[in-house]
Structure 1
Amino acid sequence: MSADPMLNFEGKVALITGAASGLGAALARELGSRGARLVLGDINTSALGRLADDLAGEGVQVLAQHCDVSRESDCESLVALARERCGALDIAVNNAGVAPPMMSLEDTGEAEFDRQYHINQRGVFFGLRHQLPVMKAARAGVILNVSSMAGLGGAPKIASYAAAKHAVIGLTKTAAIEAAGYGVRVNAICPFFTLTPMVTGIDTPAGVSAEEFQAFLASGCPMKRLADTSEVVAAMLMLLSPALTYVTGQALAVDGGLSAY
């Protein structure tokens, strides 16, 4: 348990979507180790159950429930679970998302564009729609939405993803302004390519190894490497810190220097 008050989440109730793997699972472990009570959602209930069992075995108080963020009822139900079983909702992380296949904008079909919209954009909207009233009533809380560097600039070959992630930042800034007077903070985090299953599982071009493709992705970043999951989670913890009380409406780039160009 951290003795540092900046990273002490003792007793805080933290909801995380897309918690079964990647950034969601890593953040759950970090918050749990710092005393948070966890309410976790994901469509992959088997992986989610394994994570919840692991955390419970480490003494973390954790609840897990199926949550398809493209369905508003699922997002509402996850918030209700936090209220009914934990009596509060102090932290919400709208993390669930999907990556598209890489293709040009003109080759992107309506089905893929709609998939990005339904999960990456509406999933955040539905989360905010049900998280904000609980926090505003309590006059306290912090929400973190997971956007991307693709939400801050152009993203060749992933136009549908970029559109959805830009929308996440628009939702974040609007919610931050509306909630600021209630003591509720809303921020977004915008990682560069990170070594999570979403990136390591990308289908590579024919004849190109996973290592070669990752090196290609990293070549656009001044640090010339992809982010480690722990590096992004460290920034997420910072934005969720109980001490960071005057930071809201921000979209933080975690990008190895890419946005410095």
Structure 2
Amino acid sequence: MTVEARALAVSLGGKPVLQEVDLALRPGELLGLVGPNGAGKTTLLRLLAGLLPPASGSLRYDGESPRALGRQALARRIAYLAQGGDTAWPLSAEAVVGLGRLPHRRPFAGPSRADQAAIDHALEACDAAPFRDRPLGTLSGGERRRVLLARALAVEAPYLLADEPLAGLDPLHQIEVMELLRRTARRGAGVVVVLHDLTLAARFCDRLALIDRGRLVAEGAPAEVLDDERLAAVFGVTAFRGRHDGEPLLLPWRAYSSG
């Protein structure tokens, strides 16, 4: 499956949020969306998920528009993890993860063996199995994020779009989630993740798309996108660079000063 966005633009509240964005999602790749606060990353992710119609431009899934493909088919092809972890659902963690299987089930049908296997695998992958029976409202913010990520994984869609999945997680689970997303991509899925942590973006992502003030200003390998000039111009920082255990290390270090 291929996902292609061409000249996407959208305005919210009469204000342009994204302008003329071209982007292709590729199977087997971990793509990071990076940029400062308010750059338009979440809006772009919602467009790619088919949750927000563009004001102009086109979005195609295997050459089909979201309308031609249909909501049910799109829900089986695109798994979406929204930003934030608050929910009022009075459901257990396992039941919440089970919601990810709804696109695969017939109306009023119970979970199949395949559904339960997908739920169990997703809970284990996100280190959420120990609290599978607990109501979601009793979990910490980080635990809820892991459950909601498991729900997205349970869809077993060709594409996984995750908006700030590291928010609220401790360092260990941040690394484990990035390793999980990379493994998911290596198994053939296309994974798109919104990140603010440039250190993890540079280390784990195959490709980065840098969004600034609603425009795609750079796209490519992390080392090319996050060069010194763009770090200063877009993020206003300088960085320490190196390698550790054979992997690139980029650490935002101090505020950039032209002087």
Which of the five TM-score ranges fits, normalised by the shorter chain?
A: 0.3 to 0.5
Q: Which structure's residues are more often strand, by fraction?
A: 2
More helix by share: 1
TM-score by length of 2: 0.32
Larger relative contact order, structure 1 or 2 (CA cutoff 8 Å, min sep 6): 2
TM-score by length of structure 1 reads 0.32
